[in-house]
Amino acid sequence: MTATLTAPTQVKKPGKPKQNREAILLFLPALLPVLILSVYPLIRGIALGFTDARAGLHVETNFVGFDNFSKLLHNNLFWDSFRIGVIWTLSVTILQFVAALGLALLLNTDIKFRGVARTLALIPWAMPPVVVAIMWRLLLHPTNGPVNEILQNLHLTDHPINFLGNFSTALPAVIVVGIWVGMPMTTVTLLAGLQGIDRTLYEAAAVDGAGAWSQFWNITLPQLRTVIVAITSLDMIWNFNSFGLVYVLTAGGPGGKTMLPMLFAYNEAFRYGNFGMAAAMGDVMVVIIILFLFFYLRNRLRSEA
Amino acid sequence: MRTRPTTRALQYIAVLAYLIFLGFPLLWLISSSLKSPREFASVTPSILPKHVDFSNYTDALNEQGLVRGLGNSLQISVYSTILVLIVALPVSYALARFRSRLRPLTNGWILVSQVFPVILIVIPLFMILRPLHLTNTIPGVVIVYMVWSLPFALWMLQGYVAAVPRELEEAASVDGASRLRTIVSIVMPLLRPGLIATAMFTFISAWNEFFFALVLLQDPQLKTLPLVLARFVGAEGQVQFGPLAAASVLATVPSLVFFAFLQRRLTSGLLSGAVKG
């Protein structure tokens, strides 16, 4: 892209109208499907939140203003699921980041087994979320799962724990799986960032007598800042909007303890048929994400300036 | 600077911990898929199967729904990949080469499509596709996948296009080649690695996709592999974990093949797309 910006041909004025026409021609095959199946549904989806739309073919739909939102305000189940969604998003994103940064730092040294670790770190990314969920259900199975077996052998517990079925352990267990799935993308991105840091910075710091810790704190982290902000923002969005993994792991149970907002809205729309209400929930989610990103990015960017 | 022995030791302990955390679940899944039903039911499970037994795989492949799911997934993934490439190539060329007003719009759309929760999109999509009789059909899912893997495909491909030296195209146009001719015979051959990488990502995202399929496909005949697998788990009680593990391994194979192929390029190629895009 830098080439495009600096290329002298771009500056020439006379070429422009023709270029624009050519560009539009090249866009044409994508335009129609994107408008019909992406742009229009997005706008329609936002608008649906202000209607009483229901599933079914010949149901009348009325504009109801902020009715859905005032109902949501008093819907404790929705706010519960929202709270769970925030806990899930923040825990997974933060722990994922810490774990991935540790792994990326290790992979950036001359340590052995780097190749193996790198390959293993990529596999979770390639697996279908449904398969990941099935795999962890096998691992955490109360009677013949290995995790319980190991815990009992180490005498950490005297009875098998039903991790995904207990009120107190379900959410933490699901968070661990979330970290496992999301680590690869974060690790790869951070590793690429690490490899882009100028080595002479470290050499200069070493000459000045800076230890490993101070080098990490004063060189690595500031140099990585842009990459960190970008990947944590993306992780946050992805985690907040995630669905398939938890749907197969627990389906929101036990007793709604892992009912992420996406699962809640899905049930509202496709189990109970309340399209309008589900869209209103989606609207609230969008507003929250945008507000969150706004404050997060604003603070990050300000501290950078 | 020399690394001190204690630091070294700590580093190896940390690597070992990561290897176990990342690798053990996979090892367990594969070993479960190779255990006989008797061994599976054992109260003291062993990490590796005592006797390697492939009956889980034959059981899984004898399951009607599973093979059909595999076929449906394959069909949907291949078609949507082809469509994405056809549509994404000209657009990413235009994005990388022209400074038209459509560029900021497209980049804005790519961003927005990442931020929005799919629940907001899936309801209207369902309402649009139903009167067209495209819900519960394979073409319906294919076009939805096409549109929804497009942002990522564009983001990747435009980086690759930008890396193709502009001088080559200028030389071709001096020789009198039209724009279309230049794209087909100069740019496309040079883009081959980029096209392959984009195709693989599109294929995998369609292969792994769950949410849209869950909403759009109700007919058991049309269900994709992830849907079939998810239903197996749902039927707790009589669920047979051995064949389920085997089917899960089979479902992961295509992705693993692609990732093995991509592995070297992943760190450099994917992110160069990001930086240059």
What's the pLDDT at A92?
A: 96
Q: φ, ψ for residue A52 (rounded to 5)?
A: -105, 35
- Give Dmax over CA atoms of chain B in angstroms: 76
Tokens of B62: 């004898």
Indicate the SS3 state at residue A63. strand
**Is residue A15 a part of any domain in this protein?**
no
Tokens of B151: 């942002």
**Is residue A269 a part of any domain in this protein?**
yes
What's the pLDDT at B263?
A: 63
Cβ distance B147 to A24 less than 8 Å, yes or no, reads: no
Report ipTM for this prediction: 0.85
Work out the average pLDDT over B261-266. 62
pLDDT digits (tens, 9 = 90+) for A75-89: 889 999 999 999 999
What's the pLDDT at A12?
A: 42
In chain A, which ranges are continuous DSSP H helix? 2-6, 16-34, 40-48, 67-73, 76-107, 114-126, 129-139, 146-153, 170-195, 199-207, 212-215, 221-240, 244-249, 261-266, 275-304
Q: Rounded to whole angstroms, how far apart are CA atoms B215 and B202?
A: 20
| Residue B131 CB contacts under 8 Å (≥ 6 apart), including other chains | none
Superfamily of domain B55-276: MetI-like (1.10.3720.10)
Residue A154 DSSP one-character state: T
**Is residue A144 a part of any domain in this protein?**
yes
Q: φ, ψ for residue A51 (rounded to 5)?
A: -125, 175
What's the pLDDT at B93?
A: 87
Work out the average pLDDT over B262-271. 53
Q: How many CB atoms lie within 10 A of CB A203?
A: 11
- The total number of structural domains that make up chain A: 1
**Is residue A57 a part of any domain in this protein?**
no
Q: Where are the domains of chain B?
A: 1-53, 55-276
What's the pLDDT at A284?
A: 92
Q: How many CB atoms lie within 10 A of CB B5?
A: 8
Nearest in space to A242 (alpha carbons), one of A275, A278, A266: A266
Confidence of residue A301 (pLDDT cuts 50, 70, 90): low
Work out the average pLDDT over A285-304. 80
Domain ranges, residue A212: 70-304
- Which residues in A lie closer than 8 A to residue B18 (C-beta atoms)? 102-103, 106, 117, 120-121
**Is residue A286 a part of any domain in this protein?**
yes
Q: Which of A36, A248, A278 sits opposite B230 (nearest CB)?
A: A248
Confidence of residue B239 (pLDDT cuts 50, 70, 90): low
Contact criterion met (CB below 8 Å) for A123 and B26: yes
Q: How many CB atoms lie within 10 A of CB A59?
A: 11
pLDDT digits (tens, 9 = 90+) for A61-119: 788 888 889 888 888 899 999 999 999 999 999 999 999 999 999 988 888 777 777 77
Interface of A with B in 200-259 (CB under 8 A): 206, 212, 234, 237, 240-241, 243-244, 247-248, 251
| Residue B103 CB contacts under 8 Å (≥ 6 apart), including other chains | B94, B95
What's the pLDDT at B145?
A: 92
Confidence of residue B197 (pLDDT cuts 50, 70, 90): confident
The top-scoring range by mean pLDDT among A22-26, B101-105, B124-128, B161-165 is: B124-128
Q: Rounded to whole angstroms, how far apart are CA atoms B267 and B270?
A: 6
Choose from B74, B119, B200, B218 for mutation: most chain A CBs within 10 A.
B119
CATH number at residue A211: 1.10.3720.10
Q: Judge whether residue B270 has pLDDT over 50.
A: no
Pick A103 or B174 by higher pLDDT. A103
What letter represents residue A43's amino acid?
Answer: I
Q: Judge whether residue B169 has pLDDT over 90.
A: no
CA B265 to centroid of chain Cα atoms: 16
